[in-house]
Structure 1
Amino acid sequence: MLSIQSTEQLTGARISGDFWDLDQLINAIYKVTGDENKYYDYQGARQRILGICYNLRHAAQGDHQLEFVSNGLTKSVLTQHEIIFPNKNVYYATEVLWPELIFTAIALNDFIRLHQELIDSSEWNIYIATIRKFQASVAECLEQELGDDEYLVFLRMLHTKTPLTFRYATQYVDILNLEYIGLNSEERKAHLAAFALRLMLEDDEYVTLKSQLMEAAITTKKALHEIQINANYPEEILW
């Protein structure tokens, strides 16, 4: 079963599951976000989401962390069936910074809406159900870190039908990631809700950044999401 838990320093969340849990989520995301020629005005958000998939794929290949989780087998069951079998399963895990993970959960709403409008409107779409479960796990984990009122505000924003990542300047996620990394664990606890809201509301800092990026895009004739900013992540992150 897919699991999402905050890391010890509240730097981010640890996503873990067995190979098939991660593989199912990755495939669902690829299916719903479509190929690179779809939803051009959401390409920045799509690339951000696929960055998470990249980490999950490497986790499923054993490149990150391994966890050993009880599978419920008891000695009596093993005796009854006369088999020798381990009582723990291998889970694969990777960490994601909280601003990045919150943005991913929000952005997936837009792709679910697009998929339902343009591809498959069925209420029983298994790919959407898989993504909804992932979003619910993110929200459940976040609920443990936020106050009740803060969490309700986050849920209202998450439930909005208004596109939140249309032509979004995803470079802002890097800015928030780096700012968040620079906080200590107490400050992260105190300000995590504010970071979530900053991802969902276009504040003055975001508007200024996007304006600068738009000017650069016009000058270089590049897409908005292709404009590079100075975002130097530390080589090691204390999770």
Structure 2
Amino acid sequence: MLSITHTENFTGALISGDFWDLDEINQAVYAVVGDENKYYDWEGPRKRLLGVMVEIKNASKANRHVRFVGNGLNKETMKQHEIVGSEKNIYYSVEVLWPELIFTVIALNDFVRLYSKKHAYATLDVHVSTIRKFQSVVGEALQSVVPKEHHDQFMNLLSENQTNVQEYAIQFVDILNLNHINSTKEQREKNLGMIALKLAVQDKDYHAFRTQVLKSANETKSDIHDLSITKEYPEEIEW
């Protein structure tokens, strides 16, 4: 079963599951986001979404963390059914920065909305159902540390499709990621609710930042999603 828990220092979330759990969310996201340039105004969010999926894909190939989890099988059961098997399943996991993962579940709303317009019975679509489950598991993980008022507001925005990442200045996610990394453990835990709302609501700080990005894009004749920030991520992150 897919699970999401906080890392020790609240720097990020640990996404865990067996191969099929991780492959399922990967397949669902690729199906929903579509091919490159299918939704051009969402190209930036699409790139970030697929970046997270690459990490999950690598985890499913045992390129991140591996652990063994009891599966309920024991020696007596094996003897009863005359079988030989392992008493543990292999689970894979990978860390994702919290601001990045929060933006991921927000952006998925847009792609589910776009995908649903072209698919009959979209609410029962297997890929949509998988993504909704993923969003709910992220929401559940946040619930353990985010104040109820902030958590309720964030989940209402998600469930009522009141978020929009069209032509989003994705560099803002990098800024939040870096600020989160450079905060103390206590600050990270305390600020998660505010980060979630800042990404979902797009407050004045975001709009001021986006204006600067658009100015740079116009000066260099670049697309908004092609610009990179000058700050670099640390080589090692204390998760």
2:111 paired residue number: 111
- After TM superposition, the runs of 4+ consecutive aligned structure 1 residues lying more than 4 A away are none
Aligned to 1:96: 96
Give the TM-score normalised by the residue count of structure 1.
0.96
Structure 1 residue runs without a partner (length 5+) = none
CA distance in 2, matches of 1:191, 1:11: 11
Structure 2 residues without counterparts, runs of 5 or longer: none
Maintained 8 Å contact 1:115/1:121: no
Corresponding residue number in structure 1 for 2:41: 41
Change (3 A) 1:120 1:41: farther
Q: Distance in 2 between matches of 1:211 and 1:88?
A: 52
Deviations along 1:76-122, whole A, 9 cap, x unmatched? Answer: 21111222211111011100011111110111011101111134443
Residue 205 of structure 1 and its aligned partner are, at CA, apart by 2.5
Contact 2:29 2:131 in 1 (8 A): yes
* TM-score, length-scaled by structure 2: 0.96
Paired positions, count: 239
Q: Find the aligned partners of 1:153 and 1:11 in 2 and give their Cα distance.
A: 22
SS of the aligned residue for 2:122 comes to coil
Structure 1 residues 64-83: aligned runs within 5 Å: 64-83=64-83
**Matched residue SS, 1:123:** helix
Counterpart position of 2:154: 154
Which residue number corresponds to residue 237 of structure 2?
Answer: 237
**Separation in 2, partners of 1:108, 1:201:** 15
Give the match's secondary structure for 1:193.
Answer: helix
1:51 alignment counterpart: 51
Looking at structure 1, the residues matched to 115 and 142 of structure 2 have their Cα atoms a distance apart, in angstroms, of 26
Say if 2:15 and 2:95, in contact at 8 Å, map to a contact too: yes
Cα RMSD, aligned residues only: 1.3
- The percent identity for this pair of structures is 45
Find the counterpart in structure 2 of residue 185 from structure 1.
185
Q: Which amino acid aligns with 1:48?
A: R
SS, match of residue 117 in structure 2: helix
